[in-house]
């Protein structure tokens, strides 16, 4: 069955300034790599639709959604928090990013794709129910997950997050919802300085000390994620795919390599085969060193194809 690749040119128009690490060139680097490796030819490509207000409000407070819409500038750049800015195209890009995960959910649930990768920006996993954070406006993966619950009638959804930063926004949204299992690995102590204290019963956090390599990461996944996923038996797995834990990143302190992202992707594919009919929807989160990002996405997609 096909692997779907969802993106949109609008996501490249979101620009927070020349020196901001979350830059349009991230998507260009991924696209160039897919062309160079021939992966582009085996992916079924879709344009991301715009998420609806109802889909956003399933995970965000309506007043917060209004705040984001109202902050959208007609010209220039407006900072909505200390790390996150909007230009005139940012709102549309954010709606496309969330809408991509909704479409990805529909594709796997309708049997039109087996796995999906959403190459979108801005990222989403720091966006809380009522707050922007860390380059994120709407929580893309949560929007997709609750679309699966509300529109497709699923009862057990897993969200796994292997970004170098804790997915505080996703945890804020899903915490206490027994229908959702949230599994996360991240560097600690590190921004956003969350995820290490007591958590809800449906959360499996695995903080990693700075300098952790693939061996440490894989051990954490095997200890903290895999038994919980096996017992939970999710009907659909979402991946917040953050590639900024790569050793080439100079803004963080973990030391993963391309093969580690392939390894964890294969473990998620194995679980999906057992409980979810193989269904996985993955969406881009972090990853700012362009060459490492592009190679890591290549490894992630090849793992879906069974090449790793």
Give the residue numbers marked as catalytic: 126
Query: Which burial class, exposed, middle or buried, applies to 44 when counting CB atoms under 10 A from its CB (0-12, 13-18, 19+)?
Result: middle
**C-alpha span between 238 and 220 (Å, rounded):** 19
Q: What residues does 44 pair with on adjacent strands?
A: 4
My answer on whether omega of the bond before 189 falls inside 30° of 0, hence cis, is yes
Six token digits for residue 227: 């038994």
Could you give the C-alpha distances from 308 to 32, 89, 159, 213, 265, in angstroms and in order? Answer: 21, 37, 22, 19, 9
Phi, psi (deg, nearest 5) at residue 164:
-70, -20
**C-alpha span between 126 and 137 (Å, rounded):** 8
Q: DSSP class of residue 254?
A: -
């Amino acid at each position: 069955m096909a692997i779907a690749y969802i993106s949109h040119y609008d996501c490249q128009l979101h620009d927070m300034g020349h020196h901001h690490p979350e830059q349009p060139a991230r998507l260009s680097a991924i696209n160039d790599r897919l062309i160079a490796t021939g992966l582009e030819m085996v992916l079924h490509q879709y344009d991301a639709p715009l998420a609806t207000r109802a889909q956003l409000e399933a995970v965000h407070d309506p007043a917060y959604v209004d705040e984001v819409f109202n902050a959208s500038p007609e010209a220039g750049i407006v900072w909505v928090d200390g790390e996150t800015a909007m230009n005139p195209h940012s709102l549309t890009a954010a709606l496309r990013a969330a809408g991509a995960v909704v479409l990805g959910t529909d594709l796997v649930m309708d049997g039109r794709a087996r796995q999906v990768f959403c190459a979108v920006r801005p990222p989403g996993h720091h966006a809380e129910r009522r707050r922007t954070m860390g380059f994120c406006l709407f929580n893309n993966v949560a929007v997709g997950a609750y679309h699966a619950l509300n529109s497709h009638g699923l009862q057990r959804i897993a969200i796994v997050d292997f970004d170098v930063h804790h997915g505080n926004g996703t945890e804020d949204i899903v915490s206490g919802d027994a229908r959702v299992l949230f599994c996360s690995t991240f560097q600690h102590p590190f921004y956003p300085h969350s995820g290490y204290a007591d958590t809800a019963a449906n959360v499996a956090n695995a903080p990693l000390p700075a300098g952790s390599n693939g061996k440490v990461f894989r051990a954490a996944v095997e200890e903290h994620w895999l038994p919980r996923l096996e017992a939970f038996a999710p009907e659909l797995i979402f991946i917040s795919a953050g590639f900024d834990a790569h050793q080439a990143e100079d803004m963080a302190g973990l030391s993963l390599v391309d093969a580690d992202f392939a390894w964890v992707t294969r473990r998620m594919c194995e679980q999906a085969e057992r409980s979810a009919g193989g269904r996985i929807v993955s969406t881009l989160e972090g990853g700012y060193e362009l060459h490492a990002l592009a190679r890591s996405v290549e490894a992630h997609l090849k793992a879906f194809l069974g090449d790793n």
